[in-house]
Homo-oligomer: A and B are copies of this chain.
Amino acid sequence: MSTLCLVLAAGAGHGEQARILAALSFVLVGAKLFGALVERLGQPSVLGELLFGVILGNLALLGGPSLTPLEASETFAVLAELGAILLLFEVGLESTPREMMAVGVPATLVAVVGVVTPMALGYGVDQLFHPGTSWMSHAFVGAMLAATSVGITARVLQEAKASRSTSSRIILGAAVIDDVLGLVVLAIISGVIQAAGEGTTLEPMGVAVIVAKALFFLAGAIAVGSSLSPVVFRRALALQSRGIVLALSLGLCFGLAWLALQAGLAPIVGAFAAGLVLEDVHFEGHVKRGETPLHESLHPLTALLVPVFFVRMGMLVHVENFAKPGVIGFAAVLTVGAMIGKWACGLVVPRSVSGITVGLGMMPRGEVGLIFAGIGAALILAGEPVVTPETYAAAVFMVVITTMATPPALLWSLRRDAARVSRRGAAASGRADSA
């Protein structure tokens, strides 16, 4: 154990390069061991990676060194984000724009319910616990609960080999729409609060611009991408160079992630769109010539970077923040509201789809919730921050619990769905036999 601490502490003491090398070495091996351990307990390995991260992030409580320099490292944060981007790209590859369009209506419905219900519940909980503050604060707390963090869900669906099912597509589509809606809600509420602070009212034009940019990006990326990429890959056949498929595909993935960021969206939305746009048919000529198929060459990249993302998410959980007496009650009730708010999505899915799976898949909140909370902490209303330190700690608690609870709960529901399908199949073939 002491060697471990030495390695970590020394890494943290030197330059950025040394820190990253030590961190990567440690995170890769540790995440794999913890992942294998929880897999043996029938849980998805992402839960093990999160747990390993929580332990690393709270080593100081166990008498170990503090890893604050690593947590604060911009490079480590970017590597983690690249992991999330590649994960959503990989998940996006498993569907086509047409398949996503087919679930457009239920996905939009799920997204709307999944934004409105948690907002209403968050508003109510904050009103209950902090009756003295403005309605705008309540609304802001509600907004913190709106955006699903699809990374966890995508990973569990992938591990359970369920990413191509209708319920998975509804969840993934709803999460993308969700991101746009969350951005709009945040823009409106922050705008109202800022205007109130300045004694004016909100300019509707500002909000309209934000919404237009986001929608224009999504529709544009998918339309232009789908029509251009077959041409580009066919032209690229003229280049006799190896590795052209991977280079062009990653170029598209990182390029759209960057564009999404420019449009005010999360970069993973862009990466997912890139994945949707690309289809195996585009590379057929290349693969025939001996190129590795994209999903195979993508795998080692996600194997390296995705654990960095989940371990880092775990590291950001600081256990001591929840020990304060004023926080825990509010945090617990807020978290229950956040969960129920997303489960409500399950009520509006088509009959052929498991509402429980969709509700659980929409449950996790992640960075977006924390970014909202951070913005609220910087907004001042009547001399007080809109998001107090207490509320901020509660938001972190909500993110942690919804994140950690999703992998086991969702896996349980997916297995239940699979069992039901095979039972139905057996019954159907039984009927066929007797007929």
Contact = CB atoms under 8 A, between A and B. Distances in A.
Contacts of A246: 300, 303-304
A287 interface: no
Contacts of A261: 8, 11, 14, 17-18, 21
Interface stretch (A163-171, A186-194, A337-345, A406-414): A186-194
B262 A18 contact: yes
A4 B300 contact: no
A304 B21 contact: no
A64 to B, nearest CB: 18
Nearest to A77: B13
Nearest to A266: B11
Interface in A249-264: 250-255, 257-258, 261-262, 264
B190 A3 contact: yes
Interface string A60-104: 000000000000001101100110010000000000000000000
A225 B242 CA distance: 33
Interface in A175-224: 183, 186-187, 190-191, 194, 206-207, 209-210
Contact of A18 (B187, B239, B258, B371): B258
B25 A241 contact: no
A6 B45 contact: no
A419 interface: no
Contact of A3 (B210, B298, B307): B210
Nearest to A271: B21
A241 B32 contact: yes
A4 B207 CA distance: 9
Contacts of A31: 247
A36 B240 contact: yes
Contact of A29 (B10, B21, B251, B299): B251
A209 B11 CA distance: 20
Interface string A1-45: 111101110111110111011101110110111011001100001
A111 to B, nearest CB: 19
B78 A209 contact: no
Given A6-B375, A239-B36, A247 B28 contact: yes
A374 interface: yes
A380 interface: no
A97 to B, nearest CB: 21
Contact residue range for chain A?
A: 35 or more
A78 B20 contact: yes
B264 A4 contact: yes
A244 interface: yes
A241 B37 CA distance: 9
Contacts of A81: 17
A298 B246 CA distance: 13
Contacts of A254: 21-22, 24-25, 28
Contact of A2 (B85, B206, B240): B206
Given A241-B45, A375-B6, A25 B303 contact: no
Nearest to A202: B3
A79 to B, nearest CB: 8
Contact of A28 (B18, B187, B250): B250
Interface of A: 1-4, 6-8, 10-14, 16-18, 20-22, 24-26, 28-29, 31-33, 35-36, 39-40, 45, 74-75, 77-78, 81-82, 85, 183, 186-187, 190-191, 194, 206-207, 209-210, 239-241, 243-244, 246-248, 250-255, 257-258, 261-262, 264, 267, 292, 297-301, 303-304, 307, 371, 374-375, 378
18 contacts: A2-B206, A7-B187, A7-B264, A10-B374, A10-B375, A12-B77, A13-B78, A17-B267, A18-B261, A20-B78, A21-B257, A25-B252, A25-B255, A26-B255, A32-B247, A36-B241, A74-B75, A297-B299
Given A33-B239, A74-B75, 5 more contacts: A7-B183, A24-B82, A32-B244, A32-B247, A247-B303
Closest 9 CB pairs of A and B: A36-B241, A32-B247, A25-B254, A25-B255, A29-B251, A21-B258, A297-B300, A36-B239, A75-B75
